[in-house]
Amino acid sequence: MDNKPIIGFIGIGVMGRSMAGHLLSAGYPLHVYNRTQSKAQDLIDRGAQWQDSPGKVAAEADVIITIVGFPNDVEAVYLGEDGILANAKSGSIVIDMTTSCPNLAAKIAEEAKVKGIGALDAPVSGGDIGAREARLSIMVGGDEASFEKAKPLFEIMGKNIVYQGPAGSGQHTKMCNQIAIASGMMAISESMAYAKKSGLNPETVLKSIESGAAGSWSLSNLTPRVLKGDFAPGFFVKHFLKDMRIAIESADSMGLDLPGLKLAKQLYDKLAERGCEDDGTQALFKLYQDQL
pLDDT band at 230 (very low <50, low <70, confident <90, very high): very high
2 pLDDT above the threshold of 60? no
In the chain, the N- to C-terminal Cα span, in Å, equals 57
Residues forming the active site: 174
Q: Which residues partner with 98 through β-bridges?
A: none
Higher local confidence (pLDDT), 146 or 14? 146
Mean pLDDT, residues 219-239: 94
pLDDT in tens, 84-117: 999 999 999 999 999 999 999 999 999 999 999 9
234 pLDDT above the threshold of 90? no
Spatial distance between the Cα atoms of 215 and 228, rounded to a whole number of angstroms: 19
Q: Which CATH superfamily is domain 172-289 in?
A: N-(1-d-carboxylethyl)-l-norvaline Dehydrogenase; domain 2 (1.10.1040.10)
Nearest 5 degrees, angle CA 225-CA 245-CA 18?
Answer: 45
**Of 116, 84, 229, 251, which Cα lies nearest the Cα of 182?**
251
Spatial distance between the Cα atoms of 186 and 226, rounded to a whole number of angstroms: 13
Average pLDDT, the chain: 96
pLDDT band at 14 (very low <50, low <70, confident <90, very high): confident
Number of other CB atoms surrounding residue 283 within 10 Å? 26
33 pLDDT above the threshold of 60? yes
Please enumerate in sequence order all residues whose Cβ is within 8 A of that of 188, keeping only pairs 6 or more positions apart, or say none: 216, 218, 219, 222, 223, 226, 282, 285
7-166 folds as: Rossmann fold (3.40.50)
pLDDT band at 1 (very low <50, low <70, confident <90, very high): very low
What residues does CATH 1.10.1040.10 cover in the chain?
172-289
Considering the entire predicted model, what is its pTM?
0.92
pLDDT in tens, 150-167: 999 999 999 999 999 999
What residues does CATH 3.40.50.720 cover in the chain?
7-166
